[in-house]
Structure 1
Amino acid sequence: MRPMPIIRSRTGCFTCRRRKKKCNEEKPICIGCKRNKLECHWPTEPNQVLHARPKPSTSSSAAAKVASGQTVAASSSSSSQPTLASVGPNAPPQLMLNINSPARSRSDSSPDAALNVSPRTIFTNPRPRALSNSSSHDAIDVGIPLHLHEAPDAGHLASSPIIELISPSLLDDKHAVMDEDDLASPSSSSGNLAMTLRSQLLQGADAGMWGIAPTISMLPSQGNESLELLSHYLSRTANSMGNGSTDVNPFVSQLVPIAFSNPLVLQLILAQSASHRQASGGEIQGNEVAQKYYTDSLRMFRNVVDEYMSGKEENTLDLTIGSLILSLTEVARGDKRGTIFDHLKASESMLTLLINRPQSEVPSDLADFLVEYYLHMTAASMISTDPRHKVPSLSPEVEAMARSLVEKGYIGQLAGCWLELLLIIPQIFHLGQRMMASEHNGKTIPNPDDIMTFGFLQSQIMAYFPDPAANPYSRLAGLVFKQATLLYLWSILGTPTKQDAAADAAEPKTGSHKSFITMAVAEAISILSQFPATLRINTSLCWPLAVIGCCTTDPDVQSILRERLRTMLTTIGLGNMRETLTLLEHVWAQPAEDMSPWLLARSMQEHRIWISFA
């Protein structure tokens, strides 16, 4: 049986403890506070709160009693609970996690109030290394476990797994991303973290043995369900959103620390986790929970928008991050109503404002991630737009920053190593719009400028080759994107099946256009065969799979795409994978002459499926 830890008494005023100064314990104002003209805050008197606090004059004997378990059981009354001051950094995890002590309901006075501690003061910086290296006195007195203030030793880490929630071990390059084959495996480090969180925070049995009601210290304003969703986000959702192209997952390293100081971002992350859990079939009642969190997050987002419209410009970052998270939440939900396009429109205007702000206001790595986030979502969603409808070009500021990322060899969790191809996709779309607008009797009649643009874009795509610094799976995915982007460009001129149907049956067309498209499809399928559909990199492949599927009538190729999407849905569990397959099934059921990436929006309209392929 594990021995009870030795717990030292904590005496003196809160102000001296925070300053790590010796306190002479003179009340109501100690000498240190009087000399420095500081407010002297003292713990609530024992007779007002709890009876387990040792007296200052008998600290050594009281510590011995606590070590033997006598102090915790000092009162047999059901209302008697140990104070936060009576537990130390080596206390059992059940005691460390209870920061919502009963003192809160008995007295308005609390260490948190005395020190004005809020989540923002703890989680503002994404890097835990920069957190205040407070002493164990402060960590206990303000109700925050010691391991949130300083990196614990290996022994304490093993006994308090919740440290990994925002610890360097989670944000570090070596542990931020799960192994490719371990995405859905409960044996992975992130999977173990989720199970540990659930067992430590949500099971009342262990807490009950200490006489402490099970509470959620990390999310004091949330219910038990929120901790489950946060655990699911860390173990599954964050990994499903990113494709594993980098060692650090910004969905954890960037967004999670922000979420702890920002109620909107936290609510949006929980809603995204609930939607992903429901889409992947995690729980029987998952749909009801997902809808509740989704509705609450939209309501909170609208409130922040209203504040921004009333002049609260500091909400720019919140709204930028919020609109982008909502975009991927729609992807996780498999939204078919086109709601994602509203979020993308909002995110572009907010991101443009954010980019124009001084660099000191937004960390460069966060700004890079947001630009990648937006470009990935926009490029993959553009194919869903009817070419007959006018779509604005990318914001010049966003495009310029994206090009600077390409120049420095940026590799991301969403755009992988093919960011430059994502910049070409909007140009192809606008070229297709112009060329289709000049159609006469079903034939495209391009003008000289369009011909030059077509050749320029083709040369750019052909010149693309994945960055050797990227991991092998990311490079393979980049080559799949290359073939799909070529198909998207070449299909402006029509597809082989459409051309064959229009040609004389006695003289079928066998030109280079048909050969190029057939070879591009075959090359893409060959590359796909080199890595399994269970890998995280497949998260980013809905767009190229949709384009390839619209350019082939070969039943064998269609079967390969069908099985890959089914496997992706089973292992990664994003709703848009299911809807991508549903849409392709509708496309394959159409006459061959109606199959084209440029007619995909028409199929969406007919079957009332408006999705993004992000």
Structure 2
Amino acid sequence: MSKTTHKPYQRTRAGCLPCRRRRKKCDQSTPLCLGCRRNHLICTWPSAGPELANTLGHSGSTQDGNPSLTHFCNGGDNVQRSIDFKRLLRQPSPLPPLFRRQPAGDLLEYFKLMTAPRMVCRSNIENPFITYHLRLATLSTSLQHAILAIGACHRAYISPDFSILAYDHYAVAVRSLKFGITEWHACSAANRAALAASCLALCWYEIIHANIRGALYHHLRAGGYMIRDLQDDSKFHQDELLGFFIEQYSYLAILANIDPSDRLKSQLVDPHTLTESLTHLHPRSPIYGFLLGASRDLFALILRTTSVATQRGNFGPIDANHYDIIMEMISRWAATSVSHDLTNQHSGRMYQAASIIYLHVSKHGLQDVTENLKETINPFINLFLQSFQQLPFDSPQWTTFMWPSLVAGSCMRDPSHRKALLKLFHDSSLQMEAVDSTARWLSQHWANMDRNPAVYGIRGLCETLSLENVLLCIG
């Protein structure tokens, strides 16, 4: 009985590099194979003979084998390239298929009803995290998954099982965004706007998730480049959409400077550019003040305040005249009348008190903290707490609590002050890990300050956090 001879199996070497690395069968469609399209991977090909090179060259890929952004932005379908932004942002549009599936549909509803309302500080305006995001999401897989990641992360606070789902959507959002930015300059303005929205949305995920490795600042730096590129595009005239992006970026980038060691400022903030950007925010916009509230001018002063702290942190001399001018401007600041809601004024006074505290402390190094300085600051701690206590626990102004709480809290020596602040955190209706983490790190700082009174103020708080290798995502 003769043996049946089998031809030795030879594994094919055809297919794109991502499919080979993943040990998956590649359908070899160009410029974007089915596997890479489905998993939002950058479909690249090995250098090959003229036949494959010619195939790629005539399929709209770039010279290095990456697919053209036209194909990516359209998702491989024949989507109209000319986008009417006014129609896109104002008219209801069909939800992408992902949003209509379960459990993604449930997460979307949770995002709309529970999460997005907690992301704005004004209740009497339209919520751009709903209106703009959901319509831009029709153009971006990354934004779709970022929205679901935010909703799942928020929901995980009360239902921890959702944390895995949040990570899954976050991973796809990052992967899809990475895919999209490879050919940013070839993309239509509409799709670039959707990618910028995705990048900024990931910042909010990091804040809600209470990331302690500074992941927010990587997204924020990329978002800043995208926004500037859209501003420089002479064909992009969507002021309201730019206002949506600029207000998010300005708010987050200004607050990033809570650490006067200048680690973040050199990467994120050009004070002149940021101050100029704030002037582009128009009070007549239907979304004006969704993060800055009635305090746009005060935020511009915070930017100048942190520049003084940075100067002191780098051991440079402080211009006393410059210091006095900023202190006077902050002291004379009054909330603008953007609404009849008194909570805007309470929130503004919280930031005003914290800014004065920050400026006082920034004039001193860790070795120059005196009892006189501490007594000078105490009245402003009282003002901060009084203003905070007047905010209803379900007020949208809670959205912006973190920066002033950390600044004022870093100087609290009186146990009654500490107890009052922790009670405010405990009674909050935000239901976000960011509230718990703020309370946790302040408590650790207070314990450190009790052992070593010199570890005082925001510099002392940053020293406490650095010992734990913590870089808070502040929002």
Q: Secondary structure at the match of 1:468?
A: coil
Distance 1:313 1:367 in 2: 16
Pick from 228, 240, 243: which aligns with 2:106?
A: 228
Bigger shift: residues 551-560 or 412-421: 412-421
Relative to 1, partners in 2 of residues 1:425 and 1:349: Cα closer, same or farther, differing over 3 Å?
same
1:119 touches 1:260 (CA, 8 Å); kept in 2? no
Relative to 1, partners in 2 of residues 1:218 and 1:429: Cα closer, same or farther, differing over 3 Å?
closer
Pick from 373, 379, 389: which aligns with 1:519?
A: 379
Quote how far apart the aligned CAs of 1:587 are.
Answer: 0.8
Relative to 1, partners in 2 of residues 1:580 and 1:304: Cα closer, same or farther, differing over 3 Å?
same
Q: Which amino acid aligns with 1:581?
A: A
Pick from 218, 221, 227: which aligns with 1:351?
A: 227
Distance 2:205 2:253 in 1: 15
1:323 touches 1:346 (CA, 8 Å); kept in 2? yes
Q: Residue 478 of structure 1 corresponds to which residue in structure 2?
A: 348
Within a 5 Å distance, the mapping from 1:188-587 to structure 2 comes to 218-221=95-98, 223-244=101-122, 246-278=124-156, 280-281=157-158, 283-308=159-184, 311-312=186-187, 314=189, 315-358=191-234, 361-384=236-259, 386-387=261-262, 391=266, 393-394=269-270, 396-405=272-281, 411-438=288-315, 446-447=317-318, 450-470=319-339, 471-494=341-364, 499-500=369-370, 509-510=371-372, 513-568=373-428, 571-587=429-445
Cα shift readout 1:532-578 (whole Å, capped 9, x = no counterpart): 3332211111110111101110111111111112222xx21232222
Distance 1:396 1:602 in 2: 28
2:354 touches 2:408 (CA, 8 Å); kept in 1? yes
User: Taking structure 2 as the reference length, what is the TM-score of the superposition?
Assistant: 0.75
Unaligned runs of 5+ in 2: 1-77
2:200 touches 2:249 (CA, 8 Å); kept in 1? yes
Q: Secondary structure at the match of 1:608?
A: coil
Distance 1:477 1:272 in 2: 25
Distance 1:404 1:260 in 2: 27
Distance 2:367 2:383 in 1: 19
Unaligned runs of 5+ in 1: 1-115, 132-147, 149-165, 167-216, 440-445, 501-508
Relative to 1, partners in 2 of residues 1:408 and 1:497: Cα closer, same or farther, differing over 3 Å?
farther
Bigger shift: residues 398-407 or 368-377: 398-407
Count of residues in Structure 1 that have an aligned counterpart in Structure 2: 391
Q: Residue 125 of structure 1 corresponds to which residue in structure 2?
A: 87
Identity %: 19
Q: Which has the larger radius of gyration?
A: 1
Q: Residue 44 of structure 2 corresponds to which residue in structure 1?
A: none
Relative to 1, partners in 2 of residues 1:382 and 1:400: Cα closer, same or farther, differing over 3 Å?
same
Q: Residue 3 of structure 2 corresponds to which residue in structure 1?
A: none
Distance 1:352 1:123 in 2: 19
Distance 1:249 1:286 in 2: 24
1:597 equivalent to 2:467? Answer no
Q: Secondary structure at the match of 2:183?
A: helix
Relative to 1, partners in 2 of residues 1:498 and 1:397: Cα closer, same or farther, differing over 3 Å?
closer
Q: Which amino acid aligns with 1:262?
A: S
Distance 1:391 1:117 in 2: 40
Relative to 1, partners in 2 of residues 1:371 and 1:497: Cα closer, same or farther, differing over 3 Å?
same
Bigger shift: residues 293-302 or 254-263: 254-263
Quote how far apart the aligned CAs of 1:290 are.
Answer: 0.9
Distance 2:410 2:219 in 1: 27
Cα shift readout 1:263-293 (whole Å, capped 9, x = no counterpart): 2222211111111111x22x34211111111
Q: Secondary structure at the match of 2:279?
A: helix
Quote how far apart the aligned CAs of 1:487 are.
Answer: 0.6
Relative to 1, partners in 2 of residues 1:228 and 1:362: Cα closer, same or farther, differing over 3 Å?
farther
Q: Residue 64 of structure 2 corresponds to which residue in structure 1?
A: none
Cα shift readout 1:138-179 (whole Å, capped 9, x = no counterpart): xxxxxxxxxx6xxxxxxxxxxxxxxxxx7xxxxxxxxxxxxx
1:583 touches 1:609 (CA, 8 Å); kept in 2? no
Quote how far apart the aligned CAs of 1:494 are.
Answer: 3.4
Distance 1:272 1:453 in 2: 41
Q: Residue 607 of structure 1 corresponds to which residue in structure 2?
A: 468
Relative to 1, partners in 2 of residues 1:126 and 1:461: Cα closer, same or farther, differing over 3 Å?
farther
Quote how far apart the aligned CAs of 1:370 are.
Answer: 1.1
Quote how far apart the aligned CAs of 1:411 are.
Answer: 4.3
Distance 1:226 1:382 in 2: 36
1:246 touches 1:413 (CA, 8 Å); kept in 2? no
User: Taking structure 1 as the reference length, what is the TM-score of the superposition?
Assistant: 0.59
2:313 touches 2:365 (CA, 8 Å); kept in 1? no
Distance 1:120 1:272 in 2: 30
2:389 touches 2:424 (CA, 8 Å); kept in 1? no
Q: Secondary structure at the match of 2:198?
A: helix
